[in-house]
Chains A and B, each alone.
Chain A
């Protein structure tokens, strides 16, 4: 780990003043479950680390209008234990349950989950986000068993966020603040597939801090299903979050979002459209799942992830409909 200056501001205003204009000058520290490993591996070598821990306004879950405001520094455990989340937004509760390490749930934050860097092993070994070497993709020519089946250009890593798919399905907004003001963007537009190594995998700018997540109220039945090999701490191989607005027994609107299969969470629009007007059954769930992965373009070693993504969608739909197998 490269030596760095440590700052622990008490207010957001102080924090903004400590951030850099370019990536690499300063990194924001929340729970530290990702940043510290990035620094130990020299993937990040910030000159300054700005801890948010002393900014008390960033933690907690509160009512905001008809919806909920989740402070970025809210721990995964606090989210998981929240009664309103559990009752109205079970997809978030289930996503939190998928982080099967009590230590990480106690320390890791919701904002940190959204901002953590991809786990791509080429990226983590210092080959850059797109992992190009001599003009060729290390991922496409190497071991891509855990990589994207919905790649975007040379971006073959997968978005590691546990909450991203559920937040998109629920229509959440993400608040990004800087010294010059705040902007609220759709969770969907927060994630981006970079076109070059100088770009990031999300819309956050070096001088900004992700401060809160705004959840609209919802009556949609929602659920998350993750496929993880291990019951103990493990990265999902594929995940799906769904939100179903029902009209009686039939779906009037469905949002299906895939996780861990592309450089961003992916909205499977055709699957959502296909579900409209249908009742959820094992059969319709399976058909919608097949629709969701139709456009997948697996790499040399990850065709199996198409099946996993399909299974995740099917099981998330059944779970949302209370028909879990």
Chain B
């Protein structure tokens, strides 16, 4: 069997280099075509008919006025008279028209009558949620009561983290052409391969009859895996119109209301500890909502999972709000916030520096050495010794500075992926994978791996992704893409190169297994004098093309060692709070991240920067705000659904643990882990600064001032 293992760190020429993303110019110049940019000949538009009520029964649907509107080309209903609608902005059907404006006007002209039913849209106060609250069982380990009795200090706190939306810059949508037998789908998706099957299933046609193509996606964060109701409805509208392409894209208010949210999490947490800082017991009563079906418990206690005495209950709250979708590290940011808030509150009760408490309890984690190393590194970068002070001991001025810590863990092993490698007689080399680039730099990573294997510059590799004509590859979720596509590319490229060696072995007078590809040449191992250029070698193919596939099979991957999973990370926030305005400003966010082999440090750091910015938004600004009376989202816009601007971010200090030991573990995904600990770190830093715990994030001026002024 060929040797697929990664070349030694010291010999790498393409892998490990800070290569700028190969589609960077295309994207930053606006030449890159996102599906939302598509204008196909003869294309129709579809727009949703939405329900203004959070809970209602449809009693009558009358499209007669809409049918007379200019450009009207049909309506496809997803619900019928008598159906129940369970959240506001529910899309009961879609109307097609010749232009986008006509479609939206016609959709508004569809008259729908409702019997309005009672709704519940808030999960914060359980006493107001009535029968929408469903308790789950109790989990008990050890002797909790005794541990609390023996404790030197006990902290008690209420910690609340609300529902967020995905808020993708490119909303959800697609262009689809469907004639009843075959479908041509241009989605905005994180799952080019998988959406083919989803589309086929929903349209009841063979998967072989569905062709999917996507060049770029403008954000997904876990919310773009399926064809969705809008894709399905527009397919039917296409069929109704003889297979004309139909484009559908959600407007911002619909996007922020129904196209994906992260579940809330609330918990009352009691922690017991000893004078030396060791945590001895955990008791929590948590609740959460993910929409109509309630919400599961975040994985708490988080990271510090081996607390010996434990009692936990959880309740799920069913709301008349749109359902959750996976959100960059599902449930981990919530769990980190709940757990790390409680730990720092315990440290305060014990009169200890929280850093020492985390260090002291590293043994309660699955990776004690990792967390100790990371805590110390993050503290060094944050100048903890210089800037740390006791909670609230922040001077007399109105600007209070504080530090706080948050931790993370994640998997990130590569998903199933097959890469097709073509080496042509003219020397050109292609990699084809039915994958997608979420903006993380997947294309660039693939090119680097192939270039490394072939001894060619990165620019010599043509990367083709985003199409079901290419071999199947996994969905981009769970930070699994980089491990998957790198491993499949590596294996395919090694095998393709082996075939090329066979073609030229005779000319070089050495057996194929004695050849190597270095610096644009094929040469006898260790003997540059016996070589030929890559191009000359490829010319030997004559009319042939070498086409080879390589596959990453997650079941085999641990043995092969190309990729793996399992990381830890520590973040420290340094904030300043103006106690006369309640405004929190970021000074620094330090991110120390455990990682395996890093294909491209520049792209990896970009991932960490993006993740930190997302955490800053979640800690300080972002929340979906519901109205109790109307049952609607009050801020489905980018004016009051606040996202940080570049001036709001402060310095992000990223430290990736690139070293031979981590490198030897193979590739590990990085999309999610750095998006976990920031909220906890910032909330703790604000508490450290102002001397009081603000129970709820985001830490907006109202919450900070309410806490300071005793209204919370």
Contact = CB atoms under 8 A, between A and B. Distances in A.
A307 B705 CA distance: 8
B38 interface: no
A122 B634 CA distance: 7
Contacts of B583: 227, 229
Interface in B250-273: 253
Chain A CB count within 10 A is highest, among B632, B648, B701, B709, for B701
Interface in B617-637: 620-621, 625-630, 632, 634-635, 637
Interface string A267-298: 00000000000000000000000000000000
B469 interface: no
A119 B702 CA distance: 18
Given A121-B634, A141-B629, A231 B647 contact: yes
Contacts of B635: 121
Given A1-B101, A227-B701, A303-B711, A235 B639 contact: yes
A232 B621 contact: no
Contacts, number: 94
A311 interface: yes
B629 A142 contact: yes
Interface residues of B, number: 37
B508 to A, nearest CB: 60
Contact of A308 (B625, B648, B701): B701
B581 A308 contact: yes
Nearest to A314: B580
Interface string B640-662: 10101111100000000000000
A96 interface: no
A68 interface: no
B101 A3 contact: yes
9 contacts: A141-B628, A141-B629, A143-B625, A143-B628, A229-B642, A230-B642, A303-B706, A307-B705, A307-B709
A64 interface: no
A17 to B, nearest CB: 28
Q: Which 3 A-B pairs have the closest CB atoms?
A: A232-B645, A231-B647, A304-B705
Given A230-B621, A237-B701, A143 B706 contact: no
Nearest to A1: B101
B709 A304 contact: yes
B627 A138 contact: yes
B582 interface: yes
B700 interface: yes
Interface of B: 101, 104-105, 108, 253, 398, 580-583, 620-621, 625-630, 632, 634-635, 637, 639-640, 642, 644-648, 700-702, 705-706, 709, 711
Contacts of B580: 307, 311, 314
Interface string A207-244: 00000000000000000000101111111010000000
Contact of B628 (A1, A3, A142): A142
Given A229-B700, A233-B645, A304-B709, 11 more contacts: A122-B634, A125-B632, A138-B629, A142-B629, A142-B630, A146-B640, A302-B702, A303-B706, A304-B582, A307-B582, A308-B582
A145 interface: yes
A302 B705 CA distance: 10
B279 to A, nearest CB: 34
Nearest to B584: A229
A103 to B, nearest CB: 12
Contacts of B637: 124
Contacts of A3: 101, 105
Given A125-B632, A146-B640, A229 B701 contact: yes
Contacts of A122: 627, 634
B702 A304 contact: yes
Contacts of B101: 1, 3
Contacts of B647: 100, 230-232
B711 A230 contact: no
A121 B398 CA distance: 32
A234 B648 CA distance: 11
B619 to A, nearest CB: 13
B642 A234 contact: yes
Contacts of A127: 630
Given A231-B648, A311-B581, A133 B705 contact: no
Contacts of B640: 119, 121, 146
Nearest to A315: B580
A301 interface: yes
A249 interface: no
Contacts of A87: none
A2 interface: yes
Contacts of A138: 627, 629-630
B627 A232 contact: no
A162 B614 CA distance: 29
Nearest to A325: B398
